[in-house]
Amino acid sequence: MLRYLTVVHNGQRRLALEDLEIGGRSIRAGEGVVMPGATGNWQAGVFPEPERLDVRRDARRHMAFGFGIHQCLGQPLARLELQVVYHTVFRRIPALRRATDLDTIPFKDDGIVYGVYELPVTW
């Protein structure tokens, strides 16, 4: 899920430390760049069929939590919380499912992080 829909979607702002070229464009040392995390998470050379949500795929190289010195300090806690929550919810409520069509779910894309305003479920 984190690879498919990176939580923070407003892009990371950085300064180039050296002159470089990306996609045929020159960036000089000291210039500012904005790098959307989703760009790296949707590279077909790294993730086959990146536009397809497949929760069973090996997506360990995603950029949802940043990378290197810019890696999120809360990453280990977030990963643990997700593992515990998903395991517990699906163990306790095995029949849990969406109660509405995907296209009717109000998607939250007007803030710093993605999400939904509500997700009706049934079991």
Task: Give the pLDDT confidence of 28-85 residue by residue, as tens digits.
Answer: 999 998 877 677 888 888 899 998 888 888 888 888 887 788 788 888 998 899 899 9
Q: Position 68: which residue type?
A: G
In the chain, where do the E strands start and end?
12-15, 20-22, 25-27, 32-35, 97-98, 107-108, 115-116, 121-122
Structure tokens at 8: 């923070």
Give the predicted TM-score (pTM) of the model.
Answer: 0.58
What does the alpha-carbon distance between residue 73 and residue 28 come to, in Å, rounded to a whole number? 29
Q: Where are the domains of the chain?
A: 12-98
Token pair 């464009």 in the structure block, residue = 25
How far is it, in rounded angstroms, from Cα 50 to Cα 44?
Answer: 6
CA 17-20-64 angle, 5° bins? 70
Decide: 123 and 97 in contact? Cβ < 8 Å: yes
State pLDDT tens for residues 77-90. 988 998 999 999 99
